[in-house]
Amino acid sequence: MEKKFAIARVSKPFGMKGGVRLAPLSRYCEDYISEKPIFLGDSETTSTQIELLDKAKDGKQVRCLFKGIESRDEAEAIKGKYVYASVMIDDEINQVSADLIGYTVVTDIGDIVGELIEILWLPVNDIYVIQSIDREILIPVIPEVVKSIYHDERAIEITPMDGLLD
């Protein structure tokens, strides 16, 4: 099953030929904008497919040229819109989706750890912030720890490393 995932927001135009700067919303922005079908719009449902002509890293942002956006005025008109990538439900970007907030986190032996309350985007890897009964627990979003996401049950299964939950 495919869905659209917001990977960036158009922050401002650059140049006179329709270029825009994108503010990434995910660490996967640069890869996905080049490798996946992309869409532009205010929401997933109202977005339309757009073709990327060129991209370049610009500090924390990404400069892009899209087919059909050929002037500064046209670039100004899409300021604030979102760039979505078409992804599969089992794609790794879904491990950091805001849709997971509120999911119950359980260990591979069935112990309840707590509720996912926030996802932090850090330089090396993302972090789940889990609210347990008496404290917050930070869980790295890495394959060795995060084993499965069960959307129907709204649960995330983890295999905790030694000392992770202590």
Distance of CA 71 to the CA centre of its chain: 29
Tokens of 57: 């890293």
pLDDT of residue 48: 94
Output the tens digit of pLDDT for each of the chain's 166 residues: 678 889 999 999 999 999 999 999 888 888 888 888 999 999 989 999 999 999 888 778 899 999 999 999 999 999 999 999 998 877 888 788 888 999 999 999 999 999 999 999 887 889 999 999 999 999 999 999 999 999 889 999 999 998 888 8
Residue with tokens 């707590």: 114
Q: Pairing relation of β-strands 155-158 and 104-107?
A: parallel
Nearest CA among 8, 46, 43, 12 for reference residue 27: 8
Residue 37 DSSP one-character state: -
Give the C-alpha separation, 126 to 7, whole Å: 15
| Confidence (pTM) | 0.77
Domains and their CATH numbers in the chain: 2-94 (2.40.30.60), 98-158 (2.30.30.240)
The neighbour count for residue 26, using CB atoms within 10 Å, is: 18
